[in-house]
Chains A and B, each alone.
Chain A
Amino acid sequence: QLQLQESGPGLVKPSETLSLTCTVSGGSISGTTYYWGWIRQPPGKGLEWVGSIYHSGSTYYNASLKSRLSMSVDTSKNQFSLRLRSMTAADAAVYYCARQNWDSHSFDFWGQGTLVAVSS
């Protein structure tokens, strides 16, 4: 069974950079039908797509975050990562990684999520 697990700091200072990693197990990140995405959810609010990456390194980002966001992939470790610069309180959220089915554009497997707070 495919599993995804997010890892990273639970607390980031304002203006600093958030770095998160998603480790995929039970399947290869190099599958041709799948992208790998990040979705976030501020406390008590709805879901927001952050960005997605293919195993080749091809990326596309939410336009509202594009200037601060970068994503990378390490196929040897079956991992992909997110870096979000200049963090503010508005970026505080649960960050989920998920497998993205390229054919249907649905997110069919999700990690459990990691809560990121922004505070000095």
Chain B
Amino acid sequence: SYVLTQPPSVSVAPGQTARITCAGTNIGSKTVHWYQQKPGQAPVLVVYDDSDRPSGIPERLSASNSGNTATLTISRVEAGDEADYYCQVWDFTSDYVFGTGTKVTVL
């Protein structure tokens, strides 16, 4: 089965840049989506198709995907960015796979 591995946690000071990685075998050949989940809430799609943002998602959130790693970048981090973030792909053998999740803490 296909596995997506994320760091358990990332800490960042306000105004700085947070980078969340999502590692998977040849993930660059797949399409990656990213979700933000705040405590007690449902996940929200924040990036789809590797790097596109749904309407209403700020430009501070950007993403890339190449080789064996996809990355979500949050620029000029704000307190409201504190949340769990999950990557997700569709894999021919495993269907819908979510990453292990990363908790972003704003210091």
Contact = CB atoms under 8 A, between A and B. Distances in A.
Interface of A: 37, 39, 46-49, 52, 60, 62-63, 96, 101, 104-108, 110-113
A33 to B, nearest CB: 13
A107 B95 CA distance: 13
Contact of A113 (B42, B49, B89): B42
Contacts of A112: 41-42
Given A63-B95, A112-B42, 18 more contacts: A46-B100, A46-B101, A47-B86, A49-B97, A52-B96, A62-B95, A96-B42, A104-B31, A105-B33, A105-B90, A106-B45, A106-B48, A107-B88, A108-B45, A108-B54, A110-B42, A110-B43, A110-B44
30 contacts: A37-B96, A46-B86, A46-B100, A47-B43, A47-B86, A47-B101, A49-B96, A49-B97, A52-B96, A60-B95, A62-B95, A63-B95, A96-B42, A96-B43, A104-B31, A104-B33, A104-B49, A105-B90, A105-B96, A106-B45, A106-B49, A107-B35, A107-B43, A108-B54, A110-B42, A110-B43, A110-B44, A111-B42, A112-B41, A113-B42
